[in-house]
A and B are shown apart, each in its own frame.
Chain A
Amino acid sequence: MLSYVIRRIGLMVFILLGVSVITFSMMHFVPGDPAEMIAMERYGEEITAETIAHVRAELGLDQPVYLQYFHWLTNVLQGDLGYSFRTDRPVLDEILTRLPATVQLALAGMLVALVIAIPVGIISATRQYSAVDNLSMFGALLGVSMSNFWLGLLLILFFSVHLGWLPVFGRNGIEYLILPAITLGTGMAAITTRLVRSSMIEVLGQDYIRAARARGLKERVVIYKHALKNALIPVVTIVGLQFAALLEGAVIVEVIFAWPGIGRLLVDSIFARDFVLIQGCILFIAAMFVLVNLLVDISYAYLDPRICYEAK
C-alpha cells in the first residue's frame, strides 16, 4: 500500500512539472510581443523601442527560455503567480478569493448528482429492464446530452422568470445556490446513475450475494447491506473523474448565474486578455485536478486493495 502511494505521488510530481511546462509555454503562443504589450499597458501607446527593451530586461524576457522557465517556476513554488494586468493584484490572491465559491458550487453539484444517482441507480438495477429502469436510463441519456448552459437557461426561465421563486444572479445565500447546483449536477447525475446501475447489476450476480439470499436474508438487507457497499466502490472513481467535468461545468454555470468563482475569473481574464491571470487560473485548476485525482486513486486503493497489486 505504502509503496503504491509513494509511486503515485512520484507520478504526480512528474505530471505537475509537465503541467507547469505546458502552462508556461502557453504564453509564448500569445500573438504579439509580450514586452511591447506590457509597456503599452504601463506607459500608453506612445512608446519607444528603448522603453520596450527596458521592460523586456526588467521582466527577464531577454533571457534564454529555460532560464525564464526556471525563474518562473521558482516564483510559482513560492506562491508568486505574478500580477494581474488588469487589477495589479497578485494572481494567487485573485484566485484564492474566488476559490470558496467554486468549491461550494462543485460540492453542491456533486451532492445533487449523488442524491439522484444512487437511489435511481439501485432501483434501476434491482428492476432491470422494467419500465422504471427504461425510463431512468432514457433520462440518463437525456441528461448526458443536455448542455448545461441550456439547462441553466431553462431553469432560470421557469423558476425565476416564470414562477419568480428563485433569484438568478449572484451569491447571497443558500437560495442563490439551488439553480446553479442543479444545473451543474445534472450531467454528473446522469453518468453516475448509469454507473451505479451497472456496478450494482454486476455485484448482484456474484456468488456471495447468492449465498446471502440462500441464507434467507431479506432482499432489502441483501441489497443495502451486502451489495451496495461493493457496488459503490467504482462510484468513488467516477466521482473523482467527474471532478474534471464539474470544474468544466462550473465555468459555464458561473458565467450564467454570475457566480463569483474561479471559472468566471478565467473567462473574464480571457476577455480582458489578462494573460498572467489566465496562466495562473489554468495552472491552479490543473493542479487542483491532479491532486483530487491522486486522493481518489489512493482512497480507491484503500477501498479495494486489489488495485495496488494490479498496478504493479
Chain B
Amino acid sequence: MHDLVTRAIKSRQPSHEVFRRLRKHRLALIGAAIILVLVFVALLAPFIAPHDPVEQNLGNRLLPPSIEHPSGTDNLGRCILSRLIHGSRVSLQIGIMVVGIASITGVTLGLIAGYRGGLIDELIMRIVDLLLAFPGIILALAIAGILGPSLYNVMLALAVVGWTSYARVVRGSVLSVKEKGFVEAVRVLGASDARIMFRHVLPNVMAPVIVMATLGMAHVILAAAALSFLGLGAQPPTPEWGSMLNDGRAFMRTAPHLTIFPGLAIMVTVLAFNFLGDGLRDILDPRLKEMRR
C-alpha cells in the first residue's frame, strides 16, 4: 500500500511526467538518440577516429571515399572522417559554452528585471531592445571581425548576442509568476528576495528556458559553423565543420566529398537539437507550440 502511494506521488512529479511524454514523442526521441551518439563520439574521439585529424599526408591528397578513408581525404591528405569525429568536440563545446553563458546571463538578468521592476528593469530591457536591433549574426560578425578571427572570439560574440532572448522571455514569465499567491506566502514567511527569486520563482519559469536552450544549441552550432565558414572562427588546422566546408569549396569539381560530408555532419547535429527542442516545447509548454524561436 505504502509502496503504491509513493509510486503514485513519484509519477506525478513533473520530471517523470516529462520523460513519460518524451518517450511517446518520436522525433524528440530520435533527436535525443542522435545527440547521445554525438556526445559519445565527441568524448571518445581519440579512440574512435581511425587517423590523426591534423596529420598531413601529401601522398594521399583528395582521395575519394574508400574502406581506408570512409569519407575520403582532403587537399592535405588528412582523413575527413577523423576530422569530422574530432570536429564534433569543437561544435558541441561551442554550443555548450555559448548557450551556457548566454542562458545563465539572460535568465539572471531577466529574473532581476521582472522581479525588481522599476529602473533596473527599464535599464536591462532597453539594453535588450538595443541588442535586438542588430541582426544577430551580423553583430557577431562585426565583434569577431574587430577582435580578430578566432574560435574564442566567435564564442564571445555569440554569447553577447545570445543572452537577450532568454532575458526577455524570463522577464515576461516572472511578471506573471510573482503575482501568484505562493510567492506572497513565501514572502510573508520572511524569505529574502534572492531566495524567493532563485528558489521559488526560477523553477516556475524554467520550462521555456529549457526549450530555448535546446533550440539555442542548434542555432549556435549553425552560427559558429557559418562564422568559421567565412574564415572568422576556427583557424587551421583545427578540425571544425564550417571551416572544413570552406576548405572544400576550392575542390568542388574534383572532390565533392569535401563539401558533402562536413555539411551533412552540421545538418544532422542541428536537426537533432531542433527535433528535441520542438519535442520539449510540445511537452513542456503547449502554448509555445508554434512560436518562432
Contact = CB atoms under 8 A, between A and B. Distances in A.
Given A31-B147, A147-B225, A255 B230 contact: yes
A211 to B, nearest CB: 25
B212 interface: no
Interface in A220-257: 238, 241, 244-245, 247-248, 251-252, 255-256
Contacts of B260: 154, 157
Contacts of B146: 26-27, 29-30, 270, 275, 278
Interface residues of B, number: 48
Contacts of B222: 145, 147
Interface in A26-66: 26-27, 29-31
A266 B133 contact: no
Contacts of A14: 126
Interface stretch (A69-77, A86-94, A172-180, A283-291): A283-291
A125 to B, nearest CB: 11
11 contacts: A18-B130, A19-B130, A141-B271, A145-B218, A145-B271, A149-B229, A161-B256, A248-B136, A267-B141, A285-B134, A286-B138
Interface in B28-75: none
A156 to B, nearest CB: 7
Interface centre among B142, B266, B267 (most CB of A within 10 A): B142
B271 A150 contact: no
- Cβ-closest 5 pairs across A and B: A150-B263, A270-B145, A198-B290, A244-B135, A145-B271
Interface of A: 14-15, 18-19, 22, 26-27, 29-31, 141-142, 144-150, 153-154, 156-157, 161, 191, 194-195, 198, 238, 241, 244-245, 247-248, 251-252, 255-256, 266-267, 269-271, 275, 278, 281-282, 285-286, 289-290
Interface stretch (B105-113, B188-196, B201-209, B245-253): B245-253
Contacts of B143: 26, 29
Given A191-B292, A195-B290, A267 B230 contact: yes
A113 to B, nearest CB: 14
Contacts of A282: 134, 138-139, 142
B231 interface: yes
Interface of A is mostly: helix
A12 to B, nearest CB: 9
Contacts of A251: 137-138, 141, 230
B62 to A, nearest CB: 15
A248 B141 CA distance: 10
Interface in B228-242: 229-232, 242
A161 B253 contact: yes
Contacts, number: 138
B121 to A, nearest CB: 16
Contacts of B267: 142, 145-147, 150
A31 B141 CA distance: 16
Given A26-B146, A145-B218, A195-B290, A285 B252 contact: no
B88 interface: no
Interface of B: 27, 126, 129-131, 133-139, 141-143, 145-148, 218, 222, 225-226, 229-232, 242, 245, 248-249, 252-253, 256, 259-260, 262-263, 266-267, 270-271, 274-275, 278, 289-290, 292
A15 B256 CA distance: 46
B226 A147 contact: yes
Of A27, A153, A194, chain B has the most CB atoms within 10 Å of the CB of: A153
A31 B150 CA distance: 14
Given A29-B147, A153-B252, A157-B256, A285 B263 contact: no
B158 to A, nearest CB: 13
B259 A154 contact: yes
B274 A141 contact: yes
A291 B31 CA distance: 38
Contacts of B142: 26, 266, 270, 278, 281-282
Which of A29, A31, A141, A144 counts the most B-chain CB atoms under 10 A from its CB? A144
A134 to B, nearest CB: 10
Nearest to B131: A22
Contact of B134 (A149, A195, A270, A286): A286
B138 A252 contact: no
Contacts of A289: 133-135
A19 B252 CA distance: 40
A157 B130 contact: no
A157 B252 contact: yes
A248 B138 contact: yes
Nearest to A138: B27
Contacts of B242: 147, 149
Contacts of B289: 198
A300 B129 CA distance: 19
A40 B136 CA distance: 33
Contacts of B278: 141
B95 to A, nearest CB: 14
A247 B274 contact: no
B249 A153 contact: yes
A14 B125 CA distance: 13
Contacts of B133: 15, 18-19, 286, 289-290
B196 to A, nearest CB: 30
A195 B147 contact: no
